[in-house]
Chains A and B, each alone.
Chain A
């Protein structure tokens, strides 16, 4: 089956620094990738839709200048949390939409645990 990887799996950073999270589709091409945020014991909240070769589409309430998304190739999207603060600590999950199938099923990465101290 399709595999999506995320790197790093876990990161701890100091307040004010920036953190980059990578999302890769390993065996398929994905023109669209999605970034989610999951708080403890809560559901996934869509942050943004990442489109290869164009600007990301952000959900209401998500600061695009704080959560920078780049989708430079068909297999890689990156999320950069700029000037991170403790309230940005969360579990960030990406998914990639397989463009081959008609269903366009999404495959999820394992997530990245971000802790801002």
Chain B
């Protein structure tokens, strides 16, 4: 069975700091990878996704993620965070023929003004 690990449970940064949130998955075959964001009181929104091709994926709001197959990782990055980036971030994966998303435990990002 596939699983997703997010090792950072809570990250606190000051505005303009750089961000990197870790995501590792366990599955040996073909995977589709996602990052979702959940702003306070709002529903999940897709930040970016990787299916194939260029392993460096650019998403909305200045976020990007890099798929490193050898490390089974899909870390999320942003060069300069803003206060409005305060939210919960979830990494998720589908694998093989499975249509279901498996979510990581989430990382709460707090950006201090």
Say yes or no: A42-B105 contact (C-beta < 8 A), given A103-B51, A109-B43, A111-B43. Answer: yes
Q: Total contacts A to B, CB within 8 angstroms?
A: 44
Binds A, one of B19-27, B77-85, B96-104: B96-104
Chain B residues within 8 Å of A34, by CB: 100-101
How many residues of chain A are within 8 Å of chain B by beta carbon?
21
User: Once bound together, how far apart are the Cα atoms of A32 and B97, in whole Å?
Assistant: 14
Would you call the interface of chain A mostly helix, strand, loop, or mixed? strand
Say yes or no: A43-B99 contact (C-beta < 8 A), given A108-B44, A109-B43, A110-B43. Answer: no
Separation in Å of the A63 CB from the closest CB of chain B? 18
How many residues of chain B are within 8 Å of chain A by beta carbon?
19
Chain A residues within 8 Å of B102, by CB: 46
Q: Does any Cβ of A come within 8 Å of B42's Cβ?
A: yes
Chain B residues within 8 Å of A109, by CB: 43
Interchain CB contact under 8 A, B104 and A93: no
Interchain CB contact under 8 A, A43 and B100: no
Q: Does any Cβ of B come within 8 Å of A27's Cβ?
A: no
Say yes or no: A108-B49 contact (C-beta < 8 A), given A43-B106, A46-B102, A97-B99. Answer: no
B interface residues, Cβ below 8 angstroms from A: 32, 36, 42-46, 49, 51, 90, 99-106, 108
Provide 10 A-B residue pairs closer than 8 Å at the C-beta atoms, listed in order of the A residue. A43-B90, A43-B105, A43-B106, A44-B44, A44-B101, A44-B103, A95-B44, A108-B43, A108-B44, A110-B42
A interface residues, Cβ below 8 angstroms from B: 32, 34, 41-46, 49, 93, 95, 97, 103-111
